[in-house]
C-alpha cells in the first residue's frame, strides 16, 4: 500500500530504498567514512550519510534496541543540536546561511529514502515522525536566518533577484508545514505516539512559520486543525491540536 504521499513533495530526487539490515558497530561505519554520531553534524555530514545509505555502506539508521549502532546514528541524524551552529549569532551570517542552504536538500534526500522504505512496508513510523520534527526545526532556523539576512542585502541591480529567491524559500517552508499537518491525519500509518511527536514539532516551531505565512494560508491551516479537533478521540492529541490552534492568529473580519 502506498502511503505518505504528502512527504514526497518535499524532494524531487529519485532514490532507491536500501534494506534495513543488522549493523556491525559504530567504529566500523566511521572507519568507512561515516561522521561520528558523538558530535554535531553539518551539511557535509548529512551529504555523506545520504551517500553511504544510498550505496549500502551504511544500513538505514533506525531505532532498534537490539541494534545500538543504527540507533545512535539515527538519534544523531534527528538531533536538533545539529542546528546550534546555524542558530549561533556569534558566527558570521554567511557561514551559517550557506551551510543551512545545503543542509536542507541533503536532509530531504535522506528523508525520501525513509519514505520509500515505509512505502515498501517497513515499520518506521516512529523514525519518520522524528525526521519530520527535525525538518520543522530546520525550517524554523531557515526562516530566522532569512529574516536576519534580508536587511543585509545591498539594494543593487541583483536585489530583486535575491529577494525573489528568498520568497521561494519562504514558499517552500509553507509547503513543508502543509506536509507535516497532513501527516497528522495519516493514522493508518502513524501511531498515536508518532502523531504526538509531529504535533509537538508543529507547536514548538509554528511561531517562526507565522512570520512568513500569508493570511489566507493561516485561515486554511486553522480550518484544518479545527476539523481534526472535531474528529479526534485521543485526549493528548486533542490537547496538542488545541495548542496549535491557539497559536494560529488570523484577522477577524467584521
pLDDT digits (tens, 9 = 90+) for 196-251: 999 999 999 999 999 888 889 999 999 999 999 999 999 999 999 999 999 998 77
Sign of CA dihedral 124, 130, 133, 138: negative
What are the domain boundaries of the chain? 5-247
Query: For residue 12, is pLDDT > 50?
Result: no
Q: How confident is the model at residue 5 (pLDDT cuts 50, 70, 90)?
A: very low
Q: How far apart, in whole angstroms, are the C-alpha atoms of residue 32 and residue 193? A: 34
| Backbone Cα Rg of the chain | 19
pLDDT at site 253: 57
Please state the pTM of the whole predicted model: 0.86
pLDDT band at 156 (very low <50, low <70, confident <90, very high): confident
Q: Residue 19 pLDDT > 60, yes or no?
A: no
Count of Cβ atoms closer than 10 Å to residue 179 Cβ: 18
Using the predicted structure, report yes or no on whether residue 45 has a pLDDT greater than 90.
yes
Query: Would you say residue 180 has pLDDT above 90?
Result: yes
Higher-confidence residue of 175 and 60: namely 60
Integer angstrom CA distances of residue 183 from 57, 127, 198, 200: 30, 13, 8, 13
In angstroms, rounded to a whole number, what is the distance separating the alpha carbons of residues 209 and 164? 18
- Considering only 21-30, 87-96, 193-202, which range has the smallest mean pLDDT? 21-30
Mean pLDDT of all residues in 106-119 = 95
Give φ, ψ of 164 to 5 degrees.
-65, -40
How does residue 4 score in pLDDT terms, banded at 50, 70 and 90? low
The more confident residue out of 125 and 149 is 125
Q: Is 250 exposed, middle or buried (0-12, 13-18, 19+ CB in 10 A)?
A: middle
pLDDT band at 252 (very low <50, low <70, confident <90, very high): low
Residue 223 sits at φ, ψ, to 5 deg, of: -60, -45
Amino acid at each position: 500500500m502506498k502511503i505518505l504521499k504528502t512527504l514526497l513533495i518535499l524532494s524531487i530526487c529519485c532514490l532507491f530504498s536500501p534494506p534495513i539490515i543488522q549493523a556491525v558497530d559504530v567504529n566500523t561505519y566511521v572507519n568507512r567514512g561515516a561522521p561520528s554520531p558523538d558530535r554535531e553534524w553539518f551539511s557535509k555530514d548529512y551529504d555523506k550519510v545520504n551517500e553511504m545509505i544510498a550505496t549500502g555502506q551504511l544500513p538505514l539508521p533506525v531505532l532498534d534496541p537490539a541494534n545500538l549502532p543504527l540507533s545512535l546514528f539515527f538519534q544523531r541524524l534527528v538531533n536538533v543540536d545539529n542546528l546550534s551552529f546555524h542558530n549561533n549569532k556569534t558566527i558570521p551570517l554567511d557561514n551559517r546561511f550557506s551551510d543551512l542552504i545545503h543542509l536542507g536538500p541533503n536532509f530531504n534526500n535522506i528523508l525520501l529514502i525513509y519514505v520509500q522504505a515505509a512505502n515498501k512496508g517497513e515499520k518506521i513510523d516512529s523514525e519518520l515522525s522524528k525526521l519530520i520534527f527535525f525538518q520543522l526545526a530546520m525550517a524554523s532556523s531557515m526562516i530566522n536566518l532569512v529574516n536576519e539576512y534580508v536587511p543585509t542585502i545591498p539594494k543593487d541591480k541583483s536585489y530583486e533577484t535575491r529577494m525573489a529567491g528568498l520568497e521561494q524559500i519562504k514558499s517552500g517552508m509553507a509547503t513543508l508545514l502543509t506536509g507535516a499537518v497532513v501527516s497528522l491525519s495519516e493514522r493508518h500509518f502513524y501511531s498515536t505516539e508518532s502523531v504526538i511527536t509531529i504535533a509537538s514539532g508543529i507547536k514548538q516551531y509554528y511561531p517562526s512559520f507565522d512570520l512568513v505565512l500569508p493570511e489566507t494560508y493561516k485561515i486554511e491551516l486553522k480550518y484544518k486543525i479545527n476539523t481534526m479537533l472535531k474528529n479526534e478521540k485521543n485526549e493528548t492529541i486533542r490537547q496538542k491540536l488545541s495548542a496549535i490552534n491557539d497559536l494560529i492568529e488570523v484577522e477577524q473580519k467584521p
